[in-house]
């Protein structure tokens, strides 16, 4: 994961994936500010740098906390102490991201058997696509997790109208005194399905085959947000976008091949296999943990 940061920066500022479009291309996201005068406008480089630094900070937080650093928790897991995994954001990120990949692969295989194809939205320029992929987790996590899940959870479960508790619960909903989680789980599922629909309903969306994959992703990321907080959930979303495509575009740029072809390269296939193995191990660990809890009851 850490290597994707310099790779992404190289792709955006030093590669030729944008052809005639460079990082100096104007970004129209805040065009309305021009009406106030004295504003020349943002370039996509400005927004990319802000997003890149934001995710670097989030990644650093995930390595160090919330209770234990990544290496300490990983060493305990390797020693067979599966219960120690809850002490670190990055461990949860890798675990649930790997599970997401396994479920996405299974979904894709099943859908192909029924002739359902998953086609990405059309993009005329690879640099602009990479830019959009980089910033979309921030926008979508704000909308689908913080607003559609975080705020309702605060309204349902908070016992006092504290501003501090409000922001703390948005950062990590587990800080709320949630005794009955049924409403929370139903909300996570509904928002996850809505997240899936949002990927196929516009003219510039994925094909309909993306719905199930995106809905599963939305439910998993929503569950992670509910259980472990914003750091883990947005990192999973970042991994499905920036992490995967940074390696894809890197292989595409080095070998001068289309990015769609790059995903069949041995490097990308090896990374995918590693995540699938990790995902299967994570599912196995979840089953062991569930069985132990049932025995304790």
Band (pLDDT 50/70/90 cuts) for residue 196 is very high
Name the strand (E) or helix (H) holding 262.
Answer: helix 259-262
Quick one: tokens of 35? 């009406």
Domain assignment of residue 111, given as a range: 4-296
pLDDT in tens, 101-121: 999 999 999 999 999 888 888
Neighbours of 129 (CB within 10 A): 19
- Burial letters for 244-278: b for 16+ Cβ neighbours within 10 Å, e otherwise? bbbbbbbbbbeeeeebeebbebeebeebeeebbeb
> Looking at residue 81, what is its pLDDT?
65
* Domains in the chain, number: 1
Sorted by sequence, the CB contacts under 8 Å of residue 130 that are 6+ apart come out as 8, 11, 12, 17, 245, 246, 249
CA–CA gap between residue 242 and residue 132 (Å, rounded): 9
Express each pLDDT in 201-225 by its tens digit: 876 688 888 999 999 999 999 999 9
pTM of the model: 0.91
Contact of 229 with 176, CB cutoff 8 Å: no
Residues 6+ apart with CB under 8 A from 133: 241, 242, 245
CA–CA dist 176, 159 (Å, integer): 9
Average pLDDT, rounded, for the chain: 88
CB atoms within 10 A of CB 198: 17
Confidence of residue 78 (pLDDT cuts 50, 70, 90): confident
């Amino acid at each position: 994961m850490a290597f994707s940061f310099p790779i992404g920066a190289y792709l955006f500022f030093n590669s030729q994936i944008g052809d005639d479009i460079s990082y100096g291309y104007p970004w129209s996201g805040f065009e309305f500010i021009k009406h106030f005068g004295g504003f020349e406008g943002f370039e996509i480089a400005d927004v990319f740098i802000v997003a890149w630094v934001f995710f670097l900070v989030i990644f650093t937080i995930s390595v160090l906390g919330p209770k234990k650093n990544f290496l300490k928790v990983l060493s305990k897991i390797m020693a067979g102490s599966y219960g120690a995994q809850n002490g670190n954001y990055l461990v949860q990120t890798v675990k649930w991201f790997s599970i997401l990949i396994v479920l996405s692969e299974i979904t894709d295989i099943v859908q192909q058997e029924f002739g359902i194809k998953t086609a990405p939205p059309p993009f005329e320029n690879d640099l602009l696509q990479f830019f959009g992929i980089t910033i979309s987790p921030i926008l979508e996590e704000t909308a689908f997790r913080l607003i559609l899940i975080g705020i309702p959870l605060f309204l349902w479960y908070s016992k006092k109208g504290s501003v501090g508790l409000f922001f703390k619960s948005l950062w990590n909903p587990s800080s709320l005194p949630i005794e009955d989680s049924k409403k929370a789980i139903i909300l996570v599922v509904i928002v996850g399905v809505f997240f899936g629909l949002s990927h196929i309903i516009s003219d510039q969306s994925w094909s309909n085959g993306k719905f199930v994959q995106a809905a599963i992703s939305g439910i998993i990321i929503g569950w992670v947000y509910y259980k472990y907080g914003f750091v883990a959930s947005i990192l999973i979303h970042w991994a499905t976008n920036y992490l995967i495509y940074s390696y894809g575009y890197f292989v595409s740029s080095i070998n001068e091949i289309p990015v769609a072809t790059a995903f069949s390269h041995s490097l990308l296939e090896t990374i995918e296999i590693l995540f699938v193995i990790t995902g299967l191990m994570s599912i196995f660990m979840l089953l062991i943990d569930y069985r132990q809890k049932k025995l304790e009851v």
